[in-house]
């Protein structure tokens, strides 16, 4: 049996404590599968006195987190502090710079600094792993890195934020509106006190940028993710979608488009309509799911718990087992220098079907103005419903679904209506997944 793999854990929130508990409870199994034991040499967190339900008595406590990177009794640093910069990034740089492996659950840090960290890891020959950063316990990073690695991945997409999915599926089940459902989700612990990162799509965008880099062999490019969250989705939109055979889900999609000699990268997080028969339509509550479409394998789907102490600890320790077995392959499956920089695709160049919802004044001529704008922008309407009941202020909702057509035309129609006195609100535009 080889020498133990010695780790230091930075951050002892629920995930950090979960990792220690997992290594306690499943230690013998982990040792057998890894071919060597995994031992915690050192830990660091803000509050030493907090009760965490795990035994820290045999582990060195470090007040100076950054100093853990230099310890002789540490082979791998596990970073569970969070935040794209600050102490987490300093620790990550320090660990890789000192030739230590780095395992992290920090999607923001990888989304912003993944390329730099991958380069540092390669320079020092140390492994960098982040299974827990995407989709919690689902081994989708390993799936793309290993299981699907013989394929050109053509598209990767999925439900990447459990809070948003919980809210949308709860709205679907109860008919309640967004604000009310968010409050209930916060009460039940499915949404943070400050839910902005989740419901505004930023968390999903971090994960999507990581999946895209790994899938397409591109440099991570979080800045070019188009992001729109779920705040503006209303109960009426979900009811409307339902009547048309769709559900509403927050979906991250990435693919490569354009000519092979000038490929462009599309990354988009938006609420979308999905046909009820699509595998993602049945993903309820805080579950995550990722679909990867490969040129040889076809469509793979990975589904499971997207967050939580147990699932996230499972992903962190899976990375540690891989490192213990000797895996030193590059973080993004290709050498960092070979990762391509692609221009951002113009999503307007695509064709697809689109759902549009307008909040309009309830008076004569409104539908004529809306439909004239569609006609003038060359948008063909498949179905249109004006809701019977008036909203606050006497406004009514008009929803429509377009035929397959250029997304650019839909934008043009919206632009034609910009500033029109008939609109009480900015129109809500949702792509229909699988058509664009």
CA atoms within 13 A on the CB side of 405: 19
Least gap, CB of 149 to a copy of itself (angstroms): 5
| DSSP conformational letter for 228 | -
Stretch near a copy of itself under the rule CB under 8 A, chosen from 245-253, 256-264, 313-321, 406-414: 313-321
Identify the residue among 16, 127, 137, 162 touching a copy of itself (CB under 8 A). Answer: 137
- Strand bridging mode 405-406 / 351-352: antiparallel
Residue 101 binds to a copy of itself (criterion: CB under 8 A): no
Note whether 80 and 43 are within 8 A (CB).
Answer: no
- 40-68 burial, b at 16+ Cβ within 10 Å, e below that, comes to bbbbbbeeeeeebebebeebeebeebeeb
**Closer to a copy of itself at the Cβ: 236 or 300?**
300
Q: Closest CB to a copy of itself among 93 and 278? A: 278
CA 90 – CA 382 distance, rounded (Å)? 54
325 lies in the binding site for a copy of itself (CB under 8 A): yes
Applying CB under 8 A, which of residues 311, 352, 405, 431 lies at the interface with a copy of itself? 311
Nearer to a copy of itself, 161 or 354 (CB): 161
Give buried/exposed letters for 108-127 (b at 16+ CB in 10 A, else e): bbbbbbbbebbbbbbebebb
Q: Which of 205, 271, 194 is nearest to 232 (CA)?
A: 271
Closest contact distance (angstroms) between CB of 210 and a copy of itself is: 16
Does position 14 interact with a copy of itself (CB under 8 A)? The reply is no
Site string for a copy of itself, 268-297 (x = CB under 8 A): -----------x--x-----------xxxx
**What phi and psi values does residue 178 have, to the nearest 5 degrees?**
-60, -50
Active site annotation includes 344? no
Alpha carbon distance 336, 334 (integer Å):
6
- Which letter does DSSP use for residue 423 in this model? B
Using alpha carbons, select from 197, 133, 131, 114 the residue that is nearest to residue 163. 197
- Under the binding rule (CB under 8 A), the answer on residue 148 touching a copy of itself is yes
User: Is residue 326 a contact point for a copy of itself (CB under 8 A)?
Assistant: yes
Residue 99 sits in the site that holds a copy of itself (CB under 8 A)? no
Query: Taking CB under 8 A as the rule, does residue 76 contact a copy of itself?
Result: no
* Contact status: 305 vs a copy of itself (CB under 8 A): yes
Helix/strand/coil (H/E/C) assignment for every residue in 266-317 = EEEEEEEEEECCCHHHHCCCCEEEEEEEECCCEEEEEEEECCCHHHHHHHHH
Q: Is 149 in the site for a copy of itself (CB under 8 A)?
A: yes
Closer residue to a copy of itself, CB minimum distance, 41 or 287: 287
| Binding flag, residue 26, a copy of itself (CB under 8 A) | yes
* Sites for a copy of itself among residues 193-232 (CB under 8 A): 217
Asked if 340 is part of the footprint of a copy of itself (rule: CB under 8 A), the reply reads no
- Is 374 near a copy of itself (CB under 8 A)? no
Q: Is 25 in the site for a copy of itself (CB under 8 A)?
A: yes
Strand partners, 360: 396, 423
Among 4, 87, 97, 146, binds a copy of itself (CB under 8 A): 146
**Taking contact as CB under 8 A, which single stretch among the options 101-109, 142-150, 156-164, 187-195 is the one that binds a copy of itself?**
142-150
**d(C-alpha 141, C-alpha 184), whole Å:** 32
Nearest CB to a copy of itself, comparing residues 154 and 369: 154
**Given the residues 100, 107, 207, 276, the one annotated as active site:** 207
Reading the block at residue 55, the tokens are 């035994």
> Residue 316's closest CA among 130, 143, 140, 146?
130
Residue 342 engages a copy of itself in binding (rule: CB under 8 A): no
Please state, in angstroms and rounded to a whole number, the distance separating the CA atoms of residues 419 and 425: 10
Q: Which residues, 6 or more positions from 419, have their beta carbon under 8 angstroms from its beta carbon?
A: none
Nearer to a copy of itself, 29 or 243 (CB): 29
What are the structure tokens assigned to 239, written together? 């009811």
Q: Does 371 bind a copy of itself (CB under 8 A)?
A: no
Q: Which residues bind a copy of itself (CB under 8 A)?
A: 18, 22, 25-26, 29-30, 32-35, 131, 137-139, 142-143, 146-152, 217, 279, 282, 294-305, 308, 310-311, 313-315, 317-318, 320-322, 325-329, 333-335, 338
Residues catalogued as catalytic: 207
């Amino acid at each position: 049996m080889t020498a133990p793999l010695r780790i230091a854990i930075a951050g002892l929130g629920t995930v950090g404590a979960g990792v220690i508990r997992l290594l306690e409870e499943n230690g013998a199994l982990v040792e057998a599968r890894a071919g060597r034991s995994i031992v915690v040499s050192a830990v660091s967190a803000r509050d030493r006195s907090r009760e965490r339900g795990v035994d820290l008595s045999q582990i060195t406590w470090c007040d100076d987190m950054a100093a853990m990177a230099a310890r002789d009794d540490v082979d791998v640093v596990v970073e569970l502090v969070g935040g794209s910069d600050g102490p987490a990034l300093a620790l990550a740089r320090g660990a890789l710079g000192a030739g230590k492996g780095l395992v992290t659950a920090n999607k923001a840090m990888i989304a912003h600094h993944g390329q730099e960290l991958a380069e540092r890891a390669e320079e020092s020959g140390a492994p960098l792993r982040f299974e827990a950063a995407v989709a919690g316990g689902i081994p989708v990073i390993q799936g793309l890195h290993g299981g699907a690695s013989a394929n050109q991945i053509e598209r990767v997409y999925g439900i990447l934020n459990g809070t948003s999915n919980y809210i949308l599926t709860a709205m679907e089940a109860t008919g309640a509106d967004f604000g009310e459902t968010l409050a209930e989700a916060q009460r039940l612990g499915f949404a943070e006190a400050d839910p902005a990162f989740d419901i505004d799509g930023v968390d999903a965008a971090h994960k999507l940028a990581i999946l895209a880099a790994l899938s397409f062999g591109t440099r991570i490019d979080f800045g070019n993710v188009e992001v729109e969250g779920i705040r503006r989705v209303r109960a009426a939109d979900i009811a409307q979608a339902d009547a048309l055979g769709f559900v509403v889900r927050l979906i991250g999609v990435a693919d490569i488009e354009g000519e092979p000699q000038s490929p462009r990268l599309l990354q988009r997080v938006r609420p979308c309509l999905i046909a009820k028969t699509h595998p993602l339509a049945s993903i309820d509550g805080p579950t995550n799911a990722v679909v990867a479409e490969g040129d040889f394998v076809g469509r793979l789907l990975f589904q499971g718990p997207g967050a939580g102490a147990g699932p996230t600890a499972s992903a962190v320790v899976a990375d540690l087992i891989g490192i213990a077995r000797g895996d030193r392959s590059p973080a993004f499956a290709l050498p960092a220098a070979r990762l391509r920089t692609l221009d951002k695709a113009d999503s307007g160049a695509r064709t697809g079907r689109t759902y549009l919802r307008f909040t309009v004044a309830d008076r004569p001529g409104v539908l004529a103005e809306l439909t004239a704008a569609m006609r003038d922008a060359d948008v063909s309407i498949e179905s249109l419903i004006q809701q019977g009941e008036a909203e606050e202020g006497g406004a009514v909702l008009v929803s429509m679904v377009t035929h397959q057509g250029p997304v650019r035309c839909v934008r043009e129609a919206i632009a034609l209506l910009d500033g029109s006195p008939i609109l009480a609100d900015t129109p809500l535009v949702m792509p229909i997944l699988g058509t664009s």
